[in-house]
Chains A and B, each alone.
Chain A
């Protein structure tokens, strides 16, 4: 089955720790995205990538980093510089350039210990 997978489903971060969220897609989509969702805030774009080895900052990139070494993978690292990381993180992909219909993964819930 084609789709987007995210792992882990739940992730716990200690103070000062960097953690990495995994996102993989087998839809052969060019573009991939990371969003953060907080209650009452809607979806906020963290980073997006339109092509391998290239990515752009979204609205709330501070404290996060990404890489796009393979077309099917777009991992997100939440660094210790992100002071309020507790949120629901969603990965998405689209076939072509940004702005096209996006398909979402199941999400990762990050909690701070």
Chain B
């Protein structure tokens, strides 16, 4: 079983739709959770950062963590064509000199 699983997509939605992107993980030590957005041929940019369980909202984006199910989600409201990109989840344990573990990314396509 891979440490972090993420559906590669592509996920195609019409403009204005609510998008749900998800990752599951197996390591119960993970406590920090991040979402990155990567446009084609560009470096990933940090979208959301959460610690432990719960929700965090930033504009049209909401990050949700359910540690009991080892499941994290990123919701995008009122999706725009400019949201078309690959979304990567990443996570790490609470402490120690460990590196981030990334999902392989989900490609999102928002059509006008």
List residues of A whose CB falls within 8 A of some B CB: 4, 6, 33, 40-43, 45, 48, 50, 58, 88, 90, 97-107, 109
Contact = CB atoms under 8 A, between A and B. Distances in A.
A58 B92 CA distance: 15
B43 interface: yes
Contacts of B98: 98-99
A88 B41 contact: yes
Contact of B45 (A50, A98, A104, A109): A104
A33 B99 contact: yes
B96 A99 contact: yes
Interface stretch (B12-20, B65-73, B101-109): B101-109
Interface in B8-55: 8, 32, 34, 36, 41-46, 49
A107 B71 CA distance: 29
Contacts, number: 58
Interface residues of B, number: 25
Contact of A101 (B34, B88, B95): B34
Contact of A99 (B8, B43, B92): B92
Nearest to B44: A104
Interface of B: 8, 32, 34, 36, 41-46, 49, 88, 90, 92-93, 95-100, 102-105
B100 A90 contact: no
A105 B46 CA distance: 11
Given A100-B32, A104-B43, A107-B43, A40 B97 contact: no
Given A43-B88, A100-B32, A107-B42, A58 B105 contact: no
B20 to A, nearest CB: 20
B45 to A, nearest CB: 7
Contacts of B93: 99
A97 B103 CA distance: 21
A105 B45 CA distance: 9
Given A45-B99, A97-B96, A107-B41, 16 more contacts: A6-B43, A40-B8, A42-B88, A43-B44, A58-B99, A90-B43, A97-B97, A98-B99, A98-B100, A99-B97, A99-B98, A99-B100, A101-B46, A104-B36, A107-B42, A109-B41
